[in-house]
Structure 1
Amino acid sequence: MSMAGVPQAPVELPAVVRELAGGDAVDPVWRNELGGITFRLSGGETTRYLKWQDYSELGPLARSHVNLRAEAERLTWAGEYTSVPQVLEAGENDDAAWLLTAGIRGLPALHRRWRQEPETAVRAIATGLRHLHEALPVDACPFLGGWAEATGAQLPEPDSLVVCHGDPCVPNTLISAEGQFAAHVDLGQLGVADRWADLAIASYSISWQVNFARSYDELFFATYGVEPDEKRLTFYRRLWDVS
């Protein structure tokens, strides 16, 4: 799940991070709420990103939200149809997991540039989600469900089954220098589900204090091209809050 932020304190590098970095500079750029850290590896021919997740103190449900092997499988499949990071290596042991990907040109929608241009960011997030829902083939998708299904709650009858991102919060959309949708990241929850599970949380996350601190629902849904379904929006947002 996409909450937390940039690590504020020095980070001790796990051995696998040092090994995969080689001679590259290693900079922690994101920490999730479950203790996982994303590192930027730079200085070589290309920039790479390495996600490392400590599993030692996570229960089964929390671990399912940060299953990096599952994310690697989903990225590899989705990459045939849309812009996502290319998987370079993935692995795990009893204590941790890691996922190394190639960098993609673009800035997260949470970047300070887009904080100054929130409407540009909102349009890019909505456009990117519409593209994802249209580009990924439901019938060919080997992954079912997402975060909502994992809660075990009784879900509404689907309005439209699509391949959902599963964690479409603001930081997981990358935006090009021109202000256009560039790519999606963090696809560990990707799977076939009701599109409103994605739409509710993508639009909801825009309003969170850590992101743009106000609702842009009207712009978001107009850009995506659908009338808001208030009943489903309320259901999925409440479910997210309690789960």
Structure 2
Amino acid sequence: MTVIAGPPSGRVALPPHVTSLLTLLGVATDDVVPVWQGTTGVLTFRAGAHHVKWAPASSGIDVTVEADRISWAAPHVAVPEVVGQASSPEGSWMVTRTLPGSSAVAERWLADPEAAARAVGRGLRTFHDSLPVEACPTEWSIAARVANARTRVDRGDSRALWAPEHRGYSIGEALSLLASPPPLDLVVCHGDACLPNTLLHDDGALAGHVDLGTLGVADRWADLAVAAWSTGWNYGEGYEDALYAGYGLAPDPAKISYYRLLWDLS
């Protein structure tokens, strides 16, 4: 699988609407630095002790939805504090206080992937154990994700976009597999538990989680299978077991296979 999200290359201008919100909040804009660019055109900037996330309308993402989910999770887990959010026909954006620590794909952790993978696993277990399922107002449901997969197929998304291990399936075979999910073990899932979204202190302790736009109730393996998968994208092969060990569960091949296919298609 090709991962194209990452630090932006070249100069990235701060959208005027974001500048206005920073000024309203009293956040200096003379030291704003772009730090991450998503696959849909979503941009994240660092502005002193704050981060700004901007989603153009063309991305199909409403950042204020993520802001609401972060605020719901904040009493239970370490997530950024939302200090401002807004939207317009051009897009949506939010400002958060910067958490301590560094991403699990920072140079510090790329140099020690075994320890990093274990730490990410421990952090994900803390996240799942800490959030109250019964009180969560959102779902990351299989039904909605399968419907999205069908929409993508109907609009003509190419099988070439799938991970190599899934390209042997026909579209019909893949959708048929998704129609038979394994039994559920529900937690509040992160929704995008790939390595860059876990922040760690230098000693490997959890500093927090970011990018919670799809947070919701789902099977724990919807997060766990993809988190372990992303060790290969970011560290190379051989670190999945370290993440599972950190989480405290042995691999579940059936659920890993199902939720990776669901991730790929949806």
Q: TM-score, normalised by structure 2?
A: 0.81
Q: Using a 3 Å threshold, how does the CA distance of structure 1 residues 30 and 219 change in structure 2: closer, same or farther? A: same
Aligned partner of 1:237 in structure 2 is 260
Q: Take 2:126 and 2:247, find their aligned partners in 1: how far apart are those partners?
A: 9
The percent of aligned pairs where both chains have the same amino acid is 42
Aligned partner of 1:121 in structure 2 is 116
Q: Using a 3 Å threshold, how does the CA distance of structure 1 residues 194 and 185 change in structure 2: closer, same or farther? A: same
Deviation at 1:195, TM superposition (A): 0.6
Aligned partner of 2:155 in structure 1 is none
Q: Take 1:240 and 1:156, find their aligned partners in 2: how far apart are those partners?
A: 13
Aligned partner of 1:35 in structure 2 is 41
Aligned partner of 1:188 in structure 2 is 213
Q: Take 1:238 and 1:15, find their aligned partners in 2: how far apart are those partners?
A: 39
Q: Within 5 A, what are the aligned runs for 1:48-197?
A: 48-55=50-57, 57-58=58-59, 63=60, 66-145=61-140, 149-152=144-147, 153-154=178-179, 156-197=181-222
Mapped contact 2:62–2:91 kept (Cα < 8 A): no
Q: Do structure 1's residue 14 and structure 2's residue 37 form an aligned pair?
A: no
SS in structure 2 at match of 1:130: helix
Q: Using a 3 Å threshold, how does the CA distance of structure 1 residues 134 and 28 change in structure 2: closer, same or farther? A: same
Unmatched 5+ stretches in structure 2: 148-177
SS in structure 2 at match of 1:40: strand
Q: Take 2:141 and 2:32, find their aligned partners in 1: how far apart are those partners?
A: 32
Larger RCO of the pair (alpha carbons < 8 Å, separation 6+): 2
- Give, as a single letter, the amino acid of the residue that structure 1 aligns with 2:83: L
- Give, as a single letter, the amino acid of the residue that structure 1 aligns with 2:219: D
Mapped contact 1:138–1:162 kept (Cα < 8 A): yes
Q: Take 1:181 and 1:155, find their aligned partners in 2: how far apart are those partners?
A: 35
Deviation at 1:185, TM superposition (A): 0.3
Deviation at 1:237, TM superposition (A): 1.1
Q: Take 1:196 and 1:69, find their aligned partners in 2: how far apart are those partners?
A: 26
Mapped contact 1:203–1:217 kept (Cα < 8 A): yes
Deviation at 1:147, TM superposition (A): 7.9
Q: Take 1:168 and 1:147, find their aligned partners in 2: how far apart are those partners?
A: 16
Q: Deviations over 1:166-225 (max 9, x none)?
A: 1000100000122211100001110000111001100001111xx112131221112211
Larger radius of gyration: 2
Q: Using a 3 Å threshold, how does the CA distance of structure 1 residues 143 and 132 change in structure 2: closer, same or farther? A: same
Q: Take 1:160 and 1:204, find their aligned partners in 2: how far apart are those partners?
A: 19
Q: Using a 3 Å threshold, how does the CA distance of structure 1 residues 148 and 229 change in structure 2: closer, same or farther? A: farther
Unmatched 5+ stretches in structure 1: none
Mapped contact 2:145–2:262 kept (Cα < 8 A): no
Deviation at 1:19, TM superposition (A): 2.2
Deviation at 1:230, TM superposition (A): 0.2
Deviation at 1:146, TM superposition (A): 5.3
Mapped contact 1:92–1:98 kept (Cα < 8 A): yes
Mapped contact 1:48–1:101 kept (Cα < 8 A): yes
Select 1:216's aligned residue among 234, 239, 249. Answer: 239
Aligned partner of 2:250 in structure 1 is 227
Q: Take 2:5 and 2:69, find their aligned partners in 1: how far apart are those partners?
A: 23
Mapped contact 1:147–1:167 kept (Cα < 8 A): no
The list of structure 1 runs, each at least 4 consecutive aligned residues, that deviate by more than 6 angstroms after superposition, is none
Mapped contact 1:204–1:215 kept (Cα < 8 A): no
Deviation at 1:154, TM superposition (A): 2.9
Q: TM-score, normalised by structure 1?
A: 0.89
Q: Take 1:191 and 1:158, find their aligned partners in 2: how far apart are those partners?
A: 17
Q: Take 1:201 and 1:240, find their aligned partners in 2: how far apart are those partners?
A: 8
Q: Take 1:148 and 1:225, find their aligned partners in 2: how far apart are those partners?
A: 28
